[in-house]
Amino acid sequence: MKTAVIVFPGSNCDRDAQVALRQTTGVEPVMIWHKDGTIPEDTDLVMVPGGFSYGDYLRCGAIAGNSPVISQLNAHAERGGYVLGVCNGFQILCETGLLPGALIRNAGLEFVCKPQALKVDNANTPFTSAYAGDTEISIPIAHHDGNYVADEDTLNALEDEGRVVFRYVGNPNGASRDIAGIVSENGRVLGMMPHPERAIGGHEGGTDGIGMFESLVAAI
């Protein structure tokens, strides 16, 4: 299983992603600088990590969404590759159009950072097969702009197509319909605000994130 992590100026979870992928796949991921790096065509999974790309100027993920590497990310997704966007990565995926909707300021206008209970709403995806459906897990969150919004038609489509993968238990940011993570129409692109790479059994104190990476290994 070959993986890669895209690094933007302001990324601060790229090393967490690197450690999680190395630990769970047994293979060192390729670290790709957004401006002059290349995503190898035989890459199975590309991870777009959390952080504050370009200092969150203009709009979270907006500048990164126009980075030179994005055309390669789009090509990777179009040929059936897997993509995992976490926190700022989720914001970037929405900015690129790989996922619908947008992430805006938390309803309380405060940064939230804590372990967060989630419900696995769909365990029949390449990212969640290691979890039992409707089970509750704990994954850390750390964001100021994690309030997921979309128009009603988009929200209804996500619900009808089973593309809502994670929901908050006790909504911390005002996200529409408690949405914490969604997948693309083909099920191969996942965006989520919580950080599974920070819950793999190291110093973080939790292990509920391992299931996501185990699911991907099994799928790939």
| pLDDT above 90 for 133 | no
Over range 169-190, report the average pLDDT. 97
CATH number at residue 106: 3.40.50.880
Q: What range does the domain containing 35 cover?
A: 3-219
The partner residues of 138 in beta bridges, in order of sequence, read 117
Catalytic residue among 34, 76, 144, 195: 195
3-state secondary structure of 144: coil
pLDDT of residue 66: 78
Domain count within the chain: 1
Angle, nearest 10°, between helix axes 210-219 and 14-25?
A: 60
Q: How confident is the model at residue 161 (pLDDT cuts 50, 70, 90)?
A: very high
Over range 128-144, report the average pLDDT. 94
Q: Is 197 a catalytic residue?
A: yes
Q: For residue 36, how far is the Cα from the chain centroid?
A: 23
- Burial bucket for residue 127 (CB in 10 Å: 0-12, 13-18, 19+): buried
Catalytic residue among 13, 95, 143, 197: 197
Q: How far apart are CA 16 and CA 7, in angstroms?
A: 12
Catalytic residue among 76, 87, 95, 144: 87
| pLDDT above 70 for 55 | no
Phi/psi of residue 55, each to 5°?
65, 15
The count of other CB atoms within 10 Å of the CB of residue 5 is 25
Q: Is 144 a catalytic residue?
A: no
Q: How far apart are CA 198 and CA 204, in angstroms?
A: 6
Q: Is 195 a catalytic residue?
A: yes
The CA-CA-CA angle for residues 138, 143, 148, to 5°, reads 85
